[in-house]
Chains A and B, each alone.
Chain A
């Protein structure tokens, strides 16, 4: 990690705050093998128990990527009955779709897909591009979390399997992304730069979220944190059992995500997200610093694929080369420049829960329940 994260700080030994916070996360959310296995088994039993008599015992979101596919594999091997959900935002790659198809074929799980209205979504993404804010993915992330609430309500499901894992995702600077619950920010940006009314776009306001959180008591289970999560091993497993196909970089199964991470972020925002991911892998012992540096030497994007994707993205957005260039060259604007829950509602909300966190964690530990990573740290 380096100073492309504007908030980075280094101690006297040259160790940055990210390594320190990873260490903290590791101590807090990862377990020794025996302890982790016991907690994992307990969780599985609990999920099954709560799911008895219900159609599904948990929600499992898939994208076609490693983490979610491996989660599906774990669910399958442990006899869970998830409702597999997928958000189609109009940017699925063929590999993603095939990978999801294979999961369903092999496991027999039910699949629920929500297709976002493309006209609305295109307009929303375009408005984000024009607003010049860093987190384009906020649009999809918010839709996913709204979909999850919807499904949890519709099917009365109490558990959400989350693919977030400290071992490969623990490090991610705040400056590089924004909170996925910030509907106010999305609304505000769209109001200023958008044209197509967002009639069907899945959204959850602060108050709705508060209500759902209280009512649904939906528990997020970061299943990949309980057992040692080794990316390479996970890939091998799902390749063998599900015929999973690799697509290259992290999240590259979505065309817009790979273009955003591989081109827009590095070129416009001077952010190479690989640094965060690789730093995490170094910290979790899955990669050496030399290997990581070698990987960073490689172009973020295969140049030929970049050309194809770039043309496709410009076409899908209905832009031309000049308009796209203008967007790329426009000065960066922080999310806080536009109305946001983060600068209003959440400030009080978060402060309150942060203050009582030691107490709630103590209570959870006493009750023998595993603790989960706070939402604000999930990508």
Chain B
């Protein structure tokens, strides 16, 4: 039976776990290492950890954090944030990550993607595209954790990254991030139908039904979520959760 990867995304801001809404107003979620430990014990498919403060602050990836987190993962770990050179990637792989996620540096310099893919294989490189609608309602790719608008439309950027050797793309809708409104399936479809590499949908998920729509209507190969796995109820109480396998089998896997 085909399975669709369902991936928790954790955001780090200077070593603290946070959650954003539309990439703003980070609120404190807790200790990253314990959160990963809990996800690991829930046997999640994979985990993506992104340091959203590294590139804006101009700091290198937090290797120590990556190492501590990798020690708690018996599933693949994708680590991103501040990766701007082959050496950064190398150290992250050595720290125990299976994949690195690159955003700003990849878009500014696709050769970086090429060099990592050449040395470690394209399956080890995930390019993360953060997309926001501009004033005229057009989708535009942003870098620097959403602070800078690049001017590229997502499809063009995605194709560029694919030919540079990216193994996967993570496509995040900034407008949907943390809103529980569901994925932007229109955005997903535009990109997924243009590239041949897997695309991980991110931004807005609140339910398995949303994930189903991302795959069925958006063409995503995998679905990622942050707030959905970290908050519970009207008070947005921090409580880590992950759907039960039987629910995923019944409500998601049959869509392919």
Contact = CB atoms under 8 A, between A and B. Distances in A.
Whether both chains belong to one complex is answered with yes
Interface of A: 86, 88, 90-94, 97-98, 100-101, 104, 110-113, 115, 117-119, 122, 255, 312, 315-316
B29 A115 contact: yes
B42 A86 contact: no
A117 B28 contact: yes
Contacts of B28: 115, 117
A101 B241 contact: yes
Contact of A88 (B30, B42, B233, B241): B30
B1 interface: no
A86 B237 contact: yes
Interface residues of B, number: 23
A100 B31 contact: no
A181 to B, nearest CB: 25
A97 B239 CA distance: 7
26 contacts: A86-B237, A90-B30, A94-B38, A94-B41, A94-B42, A97-B239, A100-B239, A104-B232, A104-B239, A110-B233, A110-B234, A111-B239, A112-B235, A113-B232, A113-B238, A115-B29, A115-B30, A115-B238, A117-B16, A117-B28, A118-B16, A118-B30, A118-B31, A118-B34, A315-B68, A315-B71
Given A86-B239, A111-B235, A316 B30 contact: no
A311 to B, nearest CB: 9
B140 interface: no
A90 to B, nearest CB: 4
B15, B29, B71, B239: most-surrounded residue (chain A CB, <10 A): B239
B33 interface: yes
B5 interface: no
Main secondary structure of the interface of B (DSSP, over half): mixed
Interface string B5-20: 0000000000110000
Interface in B175-211: none
B157 to A, nearest CB: 36
Contacts of B41: 93-94
Contact of A111 (B16, B30, B237): B237
A101 B232 CA distance: 8
A267 B38 CA distance: 27
A255 B237 CA distance: 20
A113 B237 CA distance: 5
B22 interface: no
A84 B6 CA distance: 29
B240 interface: yes
Interface of B: 15-16, 28-31, 33-34, 37-38, 41-42, 68, 71, 232-235, 237-241
Contacts of B29: 115
A151 B201 CA distance: 37
Nearest to B241: A101
B16 A92 contact: no
A122 B42 CA distance: 25
Contacts of A112: 235, 237
A104 B238 CA distance: 13
Contacts of B33: 315-316
B232 A312 contact: no
Given A97-B38, A115-B29, A88 B238 contact: yes
A255 B241 CA distance: 18
Given A97-B239, A101-B241, 11 more contacts: A88-B238, A92-B38, A94-B42, A97-B240, A111-B237, A112-B237, A113-B237, A115-B28, A115-B29, A117-B28, A312-B37
Contacts of B15: 119
Contacts of A98: 42
A92 B34 contact: yes
A142 B71 CA distance: 31
B241 A91 contact: no
A111 B68 contact: no
Nearest to A95: B41
B232 A111 contact: yes
A106 B225 CA distance: 23
Contact of B16 (A93, A104, A119, A315): A119
A91 B238 contact: no
A93 B28 CA distance: 19
Contacts of B71: 315
Contact of A97 (B16, B31, B241): B241
Contacts of B42: 94, 98
Contacts of A88: 30, 238
Contacts of B233: 104, 110-111
